[in-house]
């Protein structure tokens, strides 16, 4: 049986990668969560880095909007049903900026509320188009080409739920937040089903594992975070979700380590693991999100009855991992800008490493 493949196309250099919002997501989650573990960095550089990230988000956002105004760019995105899901990084990154602004500058609440309304409208358009693209993927037999980018449906939805909880608006009924969480879970189950179908066919080929597949555990973490922030769920259900996220993180990262070893053997250190690709930011985001979920769970629900001893013991280690991986990724990203061919953009959404 011949499995149809989606033709991979490269965008001309003036266009921004559709998943570039992942850069903002990864750094933003660090500035909300793990940076608090490093008091010196947080105290002396936290606000400055926040301003810098907001500026970077605006620059990237206007670049993305400018690209969307070009028919060629829109055609590329719509004709690549799997790549299209990368648009979700812009919904999620905007939510991250909103939550980060509230964390650093609580007085920005009015601006954040306006941002929330606009982002929610864009999310609705995105989700409707995602349903259409999912239908295309299933009907045209592209399931074996799927990867973790599909889970951006869940990530973007839960990011809206998180922002909804943080703005503490009396206008928003609690049931609406729960409904968004449920929508996110539904998309997770659908996407995971498609990914499992791919894994069962390609499990023998380690290079078929993509960077974005780490969103398998990241999407569970952000679901747990949205549940935690809502305050509508029992401690037992939150702990259950936490252990699910933790177990998936361990499983996924074991596969990642195996893939790293195989890539080094086949391609060497430089080409094997230090070649930049936009999808690499997904790892920074997902592990950073696990840290933030754990931190909020401890802060909001820790008690004599539920001391969260295990979570409290490992969060410190996870914080250092988040910082280390972010430094490595920023180094790879910076180096790529000075390397030949670094401006080539693959809009397939799959990882090159």
DSSP secondary structure string for all residues of 209-267: --GGGGHHHHHHHHHHHHHHHHT-S-HHHHHHHHHHHHHHHHHHHHHHHHHHHHHHHHH
Q: What is the pLDDT of residue 2?
A: 47
Q: Two tokens at 240? A: 């259950």
Q: Please give the domain boundaries of the chain with CATH numbers for all domains.
A: 10-346 (1.50.10.150)
Cβ(15)–Cβ(73) below 8 Å: yes
pTM of the model as a whole: 0.91
What does DSSP assign to residue 279?
G
Q: What angle do CA 188, 310, 226 make, to 5 degrees?
A: 30
CB 344: neighbour CB atoms within 10 A?
Answer: 11
Q: What is the pLDDT of residue 17?
A: 93
CA distances from 321 to 165, 253, 276, 328 (A): 28, 12, 19, 11
pLDDT band of residue 269 (cuts 50, 70, 90) is confident
Q: What is the pLDDT of residue 201?
A: 82
Nearest CA to 173 among 218, 260, 232, 127? 232
The Cα 204–Cα 27 span in angstroms is 33
pLDDT band of residue 11 (cuts 50, 70, 90) is low
| Rounded percentage of the chain residues whose pLDDT exceeds 70 | 90
Summarize the chain as % helix, strand, coil (round to 5): 80, 0, 20
Q: Compute the Cα dihedral for 335, 90, 282, 7 and give only its sign.
A: negative
What is the distance, to the nearest Å, from the Cα of residue 173 to the centroid of all Cα atoms in its chain?
27
Q: What is the mean pLDDT of the chain?
A: 90
Q: Averaged over 156-161, what is the pLDDT?
A: 98
Helix (H) or strand (E) run with residue 74 in it: helix 71-79
pLDDT at residue 101 is higher than 50: yes
Q: Averaged over 185-201, what is the pLDDT?
A: 94
Residue in the structure block whose two tokens are 């995602």: 130
Q: Averaged over 53-69, what is the pLDDT?
A: 96
Residue 92 CB partners (closer than 8 Å, separation 6+): 21, 25, 152, 155, 156, 159
pLDDT at residue 84 is higher than 90: yes
Residue in the structure block whose two tokens are 């739920």: 161
Q: Which residues pair with 10 in a beta bridge?
A: 346
Q: Two tokens at 54? A: 């907001």
Q: Two tokens at 127? A: 């989700």
What's phi and psi for 290, nearest 5 deg? -60, -40
Cβ(223)–Cβ(184) below 8 Å: yes
Q: Is 193 helix (H, G, I), strand (E, B) or coil?
A: helix
CA distances from 256 to 44, 300, 333, 339 (A): 34, 32, 20, 25
């Amino acid at each position: 049986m011949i499995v149809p493949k989606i033709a991979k196309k490269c965008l001309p250099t003036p266009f921004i990668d559709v998943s570039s919002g992942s850069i903002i997501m990864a750094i933003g989650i660090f500035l909300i969560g793990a940076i608090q573990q490093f008091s010196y960095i947080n105290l002396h550089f936290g606000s400055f880095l926040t301003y810098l990230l907001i500026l970077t988000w605006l620059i990237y956002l206007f670049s993305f909007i400018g690209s969307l105004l070009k028919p060629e760019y829109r055609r590329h995105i719509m004709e690549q049903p799997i790549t299209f899901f990368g648009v979700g990084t812009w919904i999620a990154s905007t939510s991250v900026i909103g939550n980060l602004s509230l964390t650093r500058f609580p007085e920005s609440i009015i601006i954040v509320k306006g941002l929330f309304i606009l982002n929610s409208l864009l999310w609705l358009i995105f989700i409707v188009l995602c349903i259409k693209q999912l239908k295309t993927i299933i009907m045209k037999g592209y399931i074996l080409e799927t990867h973790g980018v599909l889970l951006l449906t869940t990530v973007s939805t839960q990011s809206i739920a998180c922002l909804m909880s943080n703005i503490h608006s009396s206008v928003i009924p609690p049931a609406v937040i729960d409904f968004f969480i449920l929508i996110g879970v539904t998309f997770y189950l659908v996407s995971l089903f498609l990914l499992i179908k791919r894994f069962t066919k390609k499990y023998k080929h380690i290079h078929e594992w993509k960077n974005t597949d780490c969103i398998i555990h990241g999407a569970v973490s952000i679901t747990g975070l949205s549940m935690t922030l809502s305050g509508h769920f029992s401690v037992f259900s939150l702990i259950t979700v936490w252990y699910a996220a933790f177990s998936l993180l361990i499983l996924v990262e074991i596969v990642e380590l195996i893939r790293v070893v195989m890539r080094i053997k086949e391609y060497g250190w430089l080409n094997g693991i230090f070649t930049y690709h936009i999808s690499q930011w997904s790892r920074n985001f997902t592990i950073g999100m696990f840290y933030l979920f754990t931190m909020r769970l401890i802060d909001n629900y820790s008690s004599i009855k539920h001391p969260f001893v295990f979570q409290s013991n490992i969060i410190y280690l996870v914080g250092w991992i988040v910082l280390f991986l972010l430094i490595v990724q920023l180094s790879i990203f910076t180096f790529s800008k000075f390397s030949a061919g670094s401006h080539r953009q693959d809009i397939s959404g799959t990882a090159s490493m």
